Amino acid sequence: FYNPTAGSILLGNEPIDTYSLESWREHIGYVSQESPLMSGTIRDNICYGLKREVTDEELRQAADMAYALQFIEDLPKKFETEVGERGIMLSGGQRQRIAIARALLRNPSILMLDEATSSLDSQSEKWVQQALEVLMEGRTTIVIAHRLSTVVDADQLLFVEQGEITGRGTHHELMASHSLYRDFAEQQLKLNADLENKAV
């Protein structure tokens, strides 16, 4: 959305401004916190933005991999069900899984997940997290998150403070070298343990 004010963004060794904006964006799949849908059918929303015809089999496969096929099949009109303005007829977890099915259909080489599970209840988060694991397989994934459980297994974590990257490494490396990250992680782990104890 913005050009860098300093430095450059590289894809491999190539600066991204050597690509046309359209071809660069074709490489990216994006799932956001809200993932609002447009008015139309579930089919329209999953196929949105694609320039090619999508077969019924492809559509079903993407929905299945996104853990969305079962709830879609339970709807009276299945893929032809109208979702309403901004997807109002579906739950938050269902909207997220539609957005994931859309990203799967695009088959992007780069995936961006922007707080993709933060607004969901625990049951929906479980389904969406499973769908995201399928989606992340075999591609570069950039995850923006406040919840440590979402990113703890990442190959590389970047810890950002007031717009500056102050830590870079795996969870274990940052636990050993970055005091603020360690405080943050211990706080989150304690919170998770407290919630689990309450649930029991």
Are residue 64 and residue 106 in the same domain, yes or no? yes
Specify if 8 maps to a domain.
no
Averages of pLDDT over each 10 residues, the chain, 200 residues: 83 84 82 79 86 86 86 89 78 83 84 76 73 79 80 87 90 91 83 55
115 assigned to active site = yes
**What are the Cα distances from residue 185, in Å, to 73, 111, 147, 159, 172?**
40, 25, 9, 11, 11
In this structure, the strands spanning 140-144 and 14-15 are: unpaired
Q: What pLDDT shows up at residue 169?
A: 94
Domains in the chain, number:
2
Hey, is 138 helix, strand or coil? Answer: coil
Looking up tokens 């739950």 gives 91
Are residue 116 and residue 198 in the same domain, yes or no? no
Specify if 124 maps to a domain.
yes
Specify if 2 maps to a domain.
no
Given 103, 122, 145, which residue is the final one in a domain? Answer: 145
Task: Give, in degrees to the nearest 5, the angle at Cα 118 between 115 and 122.
Answer: 145
Are residue 47 and residue 128 in the same domain, yes or no? yes
> In a 10 Å sphere around its CB, with 0-12 CB exposed, 13-18 middle and 19+ buried, how is residue 198 labelled?
exposed
Are residue 55 and residue 72 in the same domain, yes or no? yes
Structure-token pair, residue 58: 């492809």
Specify if 4 maps to a domain.
no
User: Is residue 116 a contact partner of residue 33, using CB atoms and an 8 Å limit?
Assistant: yes
Q: What pLDDT shows up at residue 170?
A: 92
Q: Of 153, 157, 156, 50, which Cα lies nearest the Cα of 104?
A: 50
Are residue 116 and residue 64 in the same domain, yes or no? yes
Are residue 88 and residue 161 in the same domain, yes or no? no
Q: What pLDDT shows up at residue 157?
A: 92
Given 99, 118, 145, which residue is the final one in a domain? Answer: 145
Selected catalytic residue, list 53, 115, 173, 196 = 115
Q: What pLDDT shows up at residue 20?
A: 85
Q: What pLDDT shows up at residue 178?
A: 92
Are residue 128 and residue 179 in the same domain, yes or no? no
Are residue 158 and residue 68 in the same domain, yes or no? no
Are residue 57 and residue 106 in the same domain, yes or no? yes
Are residue 107 and residue 126 in the same domain, yes or no? yes
Specify if 39 maps to a domain.
yes
Amino acid letter, residue 91: S
Are residue 39 and residue 105 in the same domain, yes or no? yes
Sequential DSSP letters for 37-104: PPSSBHHHHHHTT-SS---HHHHHHHHHHTT-HHHHHHSTTGGG-B--GGGTTS-HHHHHHHHHHHHH
Structural domain range at position 137: 20-145
Are residue 34 and residue 94 in the same domain, yes or no? yes
Given 102, 117, 145, which residue is the final one in a domain? Answer: 145
Structure-token pair, residue 133: 């694991």
List, in order, residues 6 or more apart from 168 with CB less than 8 Å away.
156, 157, 158, 159, 174
User: Is residue 89 a contact partner of residue 40, using CB atoms and an 8 Å limit?
Assistant: no
d(CA 82, CA 75): 10
Specify if 48 maps to a domain.
yes
CATH of the domain at 86: 3.40.50.300
Hey, is 197 helix, strand or coil? Answer: helix
Q: What pLDDT shows up at residue 192?
A: 57
Specify if 6 maps to a domain.
no
Q: Of 110, 114, 109, which Cα lies nearest the Cα of 99?
A: 114
